[in-house]
Structure formats: C-alpha cells, structure tokens
C-alpha cells in the first residue's frame, strides 16, 4: 500500500556565513533528518562521508561539529524546498512545492558555485530558483541510499571532480 502524502515544512535553518563559497542544495529533509533537526540525519545517507572525503576531513557525529566543519570549509548547506507534500522521505512523491528563498544566502555570501544533491533537487532548482537567481546549478549524483547504483567511492570521485576547483 503506498504511503499517504503529508504536508511538511522544512523546519530548520540553512548553514552559511559571509565566507561561504559553495552552496550545496538538497531537496527536502528526510523523516530522520526532520527528527534530528539537521541535514542528512539518516546514518545510511552517504552525504557526510562523501563530503568529508572531498574536503579531506572526518565529520563528527554531532550537529554543532558538522556545522563548524562546513563553515570552516566555506561550504553552505540548505535545501531547495521550504515545504511540500511528501510520502515519508520519498523525493519521487514530492508535490505542491514551495521553494526556499535562496537570496537569504546569496545576498550574504560570495557563493562561487551552487550544487544540487540529486535529481529532485536539480529539477526543483531549475524550475523555481534558477529563474530568480539567474545562476546555473551543477548537478551532483544523490548521496541517498536509494541511489544504490552509485558506490560511495564513485560518488566521492564525482563530487570531488565537481567541487574541488571551487574550494580554497
């Protein structure tokens, strides 16, 4: 039986400061991420391991440590969706999207490149945010465990190839 759509509001703030040079955008926090009130909270999501490999750091398990390491590496993190209807954590089920206003970050930080984590984030960015930002986003393969076709090693290589030239 398919899960029922539920209206969900994002619920937590973006991570950025006046030094953020790259912006990574996901779609909508998973059920687990909404429970822990921070990005990529499900232990099977490979985001923190992949980004850690790209940056040459090991991200701690705690939210404050992750936030500090993102900022220390000039990396902003947010999602393209402010609210939507969704079944569980399924990006494929997303309906009735209300996008986040990325100007909050882009007016403050010298973002040199915007990256999207996965196909849903890429599509929603292209539909809702690109017309207002006037900026292209570089699509990255999803770190979600649902993207089983991509190993962690393959994800790391693709992310490193895309992101490394923008890092200081």
Q: Phi first, then psi: what are they for 156, rounded to 5°?
A: -60, -45
Q: Are 89 and 118 in contact (CB under 8 A)?
A: no
Q: Which residues are CB-neighbours of 163 under 8 A, at least 6 positions away?
A: 22, 54, 113, 115, 140
Catalytic-residue membership of 147: no
From the list 19, 45, 53, 147, the catalytic residue is 45
- Distance of alpha carbon 128 from alpha carbon 160, whole angstroms: 27
Q: Phi first, then psi: what are they for 121, rounded to 5°?
A: -60, -40
Q: Phi first, then psi: what are they for 81, rounded to 5°?
A: -105, 130
Catalytic residue IDs = 45
């Amino acid at each position: 039986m398919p899960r029922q759509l539920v209206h969900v509001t994002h619920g937590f703030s973006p991570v950025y400061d006046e030094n953020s040079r790259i912006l990574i955008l996901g779609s909508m926090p998973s059920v687990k991420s909404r429970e822990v009130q921070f990005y990529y909270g499900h232990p099977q999501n490979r985001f923190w391991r992949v980004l850690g490999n790209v940056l040459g750091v090991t991200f701690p398990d705690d939210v404050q440590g992750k936030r500090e390491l993102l900022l220390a590496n000039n990396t902003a993190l947010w999602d393209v969706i402010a609210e939507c209807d969704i079944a569980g954590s399924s990006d494929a089920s997303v309906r009735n999207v209300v996008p986040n206003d990325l100007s909050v970050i882009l007016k403050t930080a010298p973002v040199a490149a915007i990256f999207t984590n996965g196909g849903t984030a890429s599509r929603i960015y292209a539909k809702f945010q690109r017309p207002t930002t006037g900026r292209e986003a570089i699509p990255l393969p999803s770190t979600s465990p649902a993207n089983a076709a991509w190993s962690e090693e393959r994800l790391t290589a693709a992310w490193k190839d895309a992101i490394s030239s923008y890092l200081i």
